Structure 1
């Protein structure tokens, strides 16, 4: 299995067990960016003892196993433990995005690589960001350092769960 770590924080954000597809918007593929369609999955909650005495409450001695629906990428047990969604204005997110791009660029330079492919991708993402921000949900990783963008497009609305957007040049692959 391959796990992808976000460069600026080292947090695990994705694995190859999720189907990645190029981000296509307005008929164009945004190079260096992939999406992953998330799903709502059942998560067993199990037996929960609330301290009540069923025999005195005229109830059944047993308990029902319960399950709840969780997002398979967001949830900490089934996915990567993202926090959110956060409430941000477009201007606040823009400031956050610029800072993140700088951190990623610096990490790429530290590795001795050229940041140009990432910077081109980050720049090409801006028109999409400006047009689609109203359809975004913003999450943070476990260290609260970088952000992860979820996007509600027509397919996501049909499935009932957003697509997550990942910048390929902003991740390192680690084989397990």
Structure 2
């Protein structure tokens, strides 16, 4: 299981997703170019000291990421508002890569077409989308639940109060 971010725009969201990956022992890949440097204060603040607990994979482009995906034999599972299939109706595999698009624009048609599966999170009528970090947590939680691949750490972690 792996999370991947396509050209993320917002450092706070990326830091939060990297923190999510660290806490749940799931690698995170960033497909460049990102809309901010990884030295950004907001990215580091959102990721806290968890950034040192996870190896973030960086890919120079969509093409290098797609080559890596093929070499791993991993399915590409895209979270998108343009999907018909609910994420809870999809059978996740332990080797899946869950891809989240850019906050400002999602993913281009080429990336959308390359996905092995396209999943949506149902929303109330008239609402467009969730925060990308919230969507990542929902999809990853369901994927880990289905595959039984929760980290072998303490039984229950702490909820942050700040």
TM-score, normalised relative to structure 1: 0.25
TM-score, normalised relative to structure 2: 0.27
- Normalized per residue, which structure has more helix? 2
- Normalized per residue, which structure has more strand? 1
